[in-house]
A and B are shown apart, each in its own frame.
Chain A
Amino acid sequence: MDEKMRIMIVDDEMIIRESFLHWFEKYGHRVEAAASGFEALEILEKIPCDLMFVDIKMPEMDGIELLEKVKQEYPETLVVIITAYGSIDTAVKAMKLGASDYLLKPFKPDQLSLVMEKIAHQKKLESEYNYMKGRLEEITRFDNIIGQSPQMEDIFNLIPEVAQSDSSILIVGETGTGKELVAKAIHAKSRRANGPFIAINCGAIPDTLLESELFGHQKGAFTGAMHGRKGFFEVVSGGTLFLDEIGEISAKMQVDLLRVLEEKTITRLGDRQPIDVDFRLISATRQDLEKQVTEGTFREDFFYRVNVIMLTIPPLRQRKEDIPLLVHHFLDKYSRETVKHVDHVDRKAMKLLKDYDWPGNVRELENAIERAVVLSKGRTLGSDSFSFLKPSPARIEKPRSLREMEKNYIQQILDDCQWNVTKASKVLDINRVTLHKMIKRYNMQRAS
Chain B
Amino acid sequence: MNLTKRRMGVVPIGNIPEIATKTIAAHIIGYLNLDSDILPPLKHPEYAHDERRLQYNAGAILKRLDLEAFPDHMKVIGVLDVDIYVPILTHVFGEAKQGGKCGLVSLYRLKKQLDGSTSPEPILLERAAKVALHEIGHLFSLLHCMDERCLMHFSGGLRELDNAPVLFCRYCSAYLRDAIRRQMKTDE
Which A residues have a C-beta under 8 Å from some C-beta of B?
A: 1-2, 13, 15-16, 18-20, 22-23, 25-28, 82, 105-113
List 7 interface pairs A-B (beta carbons < 8 Å), by A numbering.
A13-B87, A18-B87, A19-B89, A108-B90, A108-B91, A110-B157, A112-B89
Complex CA distance for A108 and B146, rounded to whole angstroms: 20
Contacts of A113 in B (CB 8 A): 154, 156
Complex CA distance for A15 and B50, rounded to whole angstroms: 14
Q: Does B49 contact A (CB under 8 A)?
A: no
| CB <8 Å contact, A109 and B156 | yes
Q: Does B92 contact A (CB under 8 A)?
A: yes
Complex CA distance for A171 and B146, rounded to whole angstroms: 54
Q: Does B56 contact A (CB under 8 A)?
A: no
Contacts of A107 in B (CB 8 A): 88-90
Q: Chain B contact residues (Cβ within 8 angstroms of A): what range?
A: 10 to 19
Q: Does B111 contact A (CB under 8 A)?
A: no
Given A26-B138, A113-B156, A20:B88 Cβ within 8 A: yes
| CB <8 Å contact, A22 and B90 | no
| CB <8 Å contact, A19 and B144 | no
Complex CA distance for A82 and B88, rounded to whole angstroms: 10
- Of the candidates B138, B146, B156, the one having the most CB atoms from chain A within 10 angstroms of its own CB is B156
Please give the distance in Å from B101's CB to the nearest CB on chain A.
15
| CB <8 Å contact, B144 and A106 | no
Name the CB-closest residue of A to B154. A113
| CB <8 Å contact, B86 and A23 | yes
Complex CA distance for A15 and B59, rounded to whole angstroms: 10
| CB <8 Å contact, A22 and B89 | no
Interface residues of B in 129-180 (CB under 8 A from A): 138, 143-144, 146, 154, 156-157, 160
Which of B85, B86, B154 touches A22 (beta carbons < 8 Å)? B86
| CB <8 Å contact, A19 and B143 | no
Which of B59, B90, B138, B146 touches A19 (beta carbons < 8 Å)? B59
Q: Does B98 contact A (CB under 8 A)?
A: yes
Given A109-B91, A109-B92, A113-B154, A22:B97 Cβ within 8 A: yes
| CB <8 Å contact, A109 and B89 | yes
Please give the distance in Å from A80's CB to the nearest CB on chain B.
12
Complex CA distance for A26 and B135, rounded to whole angstroms: 10
Please give the distance in Å from A396's CB to the nearest CB on chain B.
64
| CB <8 Å contact, A106 and B88 | yes
Contacts of B144 in A (CB 8 A): 26-28
| CB <8 Å contact, B88 and A105 | yes
Complex CA distance for A278 and B72, rounded to whole angstroms: 84
Give the 4 A-B residue pairs with the shortest CB-CB distance, closest first.
A110-B156, A19-B87, A109-B156, A19-B88
Please give the distance in Å from B42's CB to the nearest CB on chain A.
22
Complex CA distance for A113 and B154, rounded to whole angstroms: 8
Chain B 81-110: CB-based contact to A (< 8 A → 1; otherwise 0): 000011111111000011000000000000
Beyond known contacts A1-B146, A19-B88: 5 more, CB 8 A cutoff: A16-B88, A19-B59, A19-B89, A109-B91, A112-B88
Contacts of A20 in B (CB 8 A): 88
Please give the distance in Å from B43's CB to the nearest CB on chain A.
24
Name the CB-closest residue of A to B100. A22
Contacts of B91 in A (CB 8 A): 108-109
Contacts of A22 in B (CB 8 A): 86, 97-98
